[in-house]
Amino acid sequence: MDVKSYTASKIREYRKLRGLTQKELGEKIGVKHNTISGYESGTNEPEQDLLFKIASALEISINDLFPDTTNNTSSYYYDDEVAAIANEMKDNPGIRVLFDASRGLKKESIEEVRRFIEFQKAKERGDYEG
């Protein structure tokens, strides 16, 4: 996948993760929804200043809109488990959203969220009848 297509798909992916419509994202950065549509389809490329606005509106780093060319994550961390978690967060924005949302929560609240996630998993597997 080329950089243009990658960036287009990441804009769409993060917009949807944040629960924003194209119109809402456009309003946040000062462009029309059809401009956002063009960015997401790859027919138009946002200028550099707009990329920063998009990243800010989506509460991500501008680096998240571009492919990682280093692939050096494991050598950055001393612990293989931490490197694996970092790679998973990089590859799965949903995990990152959950991580970001959990910052500042008390230990008891995090445990409650963990139990809810286990409950959701059981429902999806069909292990829960309620």
Q: Domain map of the chain by residue range?
A: 3-65, 73-125
Q: How does the average pLDDT of the chain come out, rounded? A: 88
Question: Does the domain formed by 3-65 have CATH 1.10.260.40?
Answer: yes
Quick one: how far is CA 24 from the chain centroid?
Answer: 17
pLDDT tens, residue by residue, 77-105: 667 788 788 888 888 888 888 888 888 99
Angle at 119 between CA 118 and CA 122, to 5 degrees: 85
Q: Which residue in 116, 123, 81, 121 sits closest to 102, CA to CA? A: 116
Identify whether the C-beta of residue 52 lies closer than 8 Å to the C-beta of residue 58: no
Q: Which pTM does this prediction carry?
A: 0.57
Instruction: Tell me the per-residue pLDDT of 53-71, one tens digit each, with 9 for 90 and over.
Output: 999 999 999 999 988 766 5
Q: Is the pLDDT of residue 74 over 60?
A: no
Which tokens hold the place of 74? 């494991």
**Of 65, 57, 68, 87, nearest in space to 10 by CA:** 65
Please tell me the predicted confidence (pLDDT) of residue 88: 84
